[in-house]
Each structure stands twice: as structure tokens, then as C-alpha cells.
Amino acid sequence: MARPRSARLHGDADGFRAALASLVDSPQFSDVTFLVGRERRKVFAHRCILACRCPGLRGLLDSPPPAPGAPAPAPIALSSAQPEAFLAMLEFLYTNRVHLTSVTALEVLASSVEYGLDDLRQLCVEFVMGTLSVETACEALQAAATCGQVDLQQRCLAFIEDNTQAVVGTRGFHELSEAVLVPVLRSDRLTIDEPDLIAAVRGWARVSAQAVFGHPVAAVAEGPARELRLPLLAPGELAALESQNRQDPLLPMESVAEAWRCHALRGNGGARAQLCRPRRGTRPREHHLRLGLQPR
């Protein structure tokens, strides 16, 4: 007797995906409504799809669907989400595809991490890595740090190191948190000379001081300012910086004094060794040899 045969056959995947895509944000057969973002935009969805595709949303859908003729359940408010990003996430849940743009990708990344969608998270990380630019690198670095994406953080930092001079003039740089900026300033591979980096940190501190009402620039910049490598400056540059610092405080006076000790003692003068290491973009100066600094 012949053994029975079996096979798993596949229909038209594109047609199947298109049919499900037509349900994204469609009120037809919808049994759950979200109010998304500050504008409380209504977004329609289907709890059976969300529950089986997104464990992170399942907890919001625990209440049983209304009985026929019963009032519809109250909408679920997601005030911290962005409508465009939430719709992109729904597109992925319904079709396993997502349309990302440079405007939405980081918000979708944050949503994917929040709701435990690892496949979507990986797609977002790959997209952001592949589209890094001078304008987006710092924003991506901040998002990567916030979302705990180490690989993306490392890629963003490498991009910033290779393009430092251009990156420090962007809005994204000025909006970095102190916790993200400080590790950037510790890098030996920044392609920028120290006076330009000092000026960039001054600009960052002014923007940050405006955001934190009542905090002077010097107080806001205290942590980042201690990562600036003042011993790399020539004596004339250091004197000019000290004069500017009296008029427009940024640097702790002990940091300036520490740099002068390095010059006076022709060595690190007790300064942290890192502060005496030239960066990749450090312009050589005559006194570097007297200080025992090795050019990079």
C-alpha cells in the first residue's frame, strides 16, 4: 500500500500581504481604537492580530471584546507615541514589512524596543546605520543610548569620530544629553583640533543652559568641560582661553590651572593622562614635544 504523501504549499504571498495591509488603520471589523500622540489621533486596529504578533501590546488588550450590541470599549491612549511611528509599527505587525524614513526610523526603533519587537528593532537599526549622515549622527547616537542599542552606538560614534568638525555644528550635537556627550569627548579619535572642540562644547552648553532654566553655562558644562584637553593648547592659546573664560565662564578654574602646571613642569603635572593625549585631529604644536606628547 502506497504511503500517504503530504506537502505544505504556499499561495500568493504578495496578495496575502496586500489584503492584510488593507486592514491597517481600517475601522472595518476593528475592535480596538488607540488615541495616539498629543493630537490624540484615532488609529483603528484588530486585537487578534496585535495580540498574536506583539506581546508588548497584549497586556493592553486583556479586556474581552464587547458583546454584540454592547457599547464599544474606551479607546486606549498612547500619548507618548508618534502617530507616524505607531502606524509604521502596525504595518509591520500586519504585513511583516515596514516603510521607514529618516524622520520616523528612530521613533519606530523606540517603539520596537518598548513593545519587544526584536525583528522590527533589527530592521530599524540596519536602516539607521545605512543612512547615517552628518545631520543625523548625533540624534541617532542619543536614540541608541536611550534604547540600549550598543552596536548602533558604536557605529554612530565611529561616524562622529570621522566627521567631527562637521558634526559639532549640527542641531543634533547641541541637543545631546550630558551622559551621551561625555563619552564622545573622551575619544582619542575625534577629527577636530581642541580649540574648535572647546568652542563646540561652549555652544552645546549655551543651548543646554537655555533648556534648563536658571542654570549658568558653567554649571551645565561642568562634566563635559572636564574632558577637554587643555594641555594640548599652546601657551598663547591657553592664555587667550583663560581671558575668554573670565568673561564667559565655561571651564572650571582648576582645569585651566592644571593645564598651566603641565606647561610649567614640562610634563603632565599631575593631570589625568588622557588630557595630555593628542586626538586624531589635534594640530601639532611645538610644545607637545616638550610635554612628552606623542603625535597620533
Residue ranges covered by each domain of the chain: 161-296
Q: Residue 294 pLDDT > 60, yes or no?
A: no
Q: Which residue has the cell 555644528?
A: 169
Say which amino acid occupies 287. Answer: H
Write the pLDDT tens digit of every residue in 217-230.
Answer: 888 899 999 999 99
How far is residue 161's CA from residue 172's CA, in Å, rounded to a whole number?
15
Mean pLDDT of 153-158: 98
User: Which residues does 32 contact at the CB level (< 8 Å), separation at least 6?
Assistant: 44, 45, 46, 47, 50, 61, 73, 76
Mean pLDDT of 256-280: 79
Q: How confident is the model at residue 91 (pLDDT cuts 50, 70, 90)?
A: very high
User: Is the backbone of residue 74 left (phi > 0), alpha (psi -120 to 50) or beta?
Assistant: beta
Distances from the Cα of 141 to the Cα of 130, 170, 176, 217, angstroms: 14, 13, 9, 23
Taking all residues of the chain, what is their mean pLDDT, rounded to a whole number? 90
Question: Would you say 215 and 250 are in contact if contact means Cβ atoms under 8 Å apart?
Answer: no
pTM of the model: 0.88
Instruction: For residue 256, give the C-alpha cell.
Output: 585651566
How far is residue 253's CA from residue 242's CA, in Å, rounded to a whole number?
9
Residue 214: exposed, middle, or buried by beta-carbon count in 10 A (0-12, 13-18, 19+)?
exposed
| CB neighbours of residue 131 within 10 Å | 13
Per DSSP bridges, beta strands 76-78 and 32-36 are parallel
Write the pLDDT tens digit of every residue in 30-60.
Answer: 989 999 999 999 999 999 999 999 988 888 8
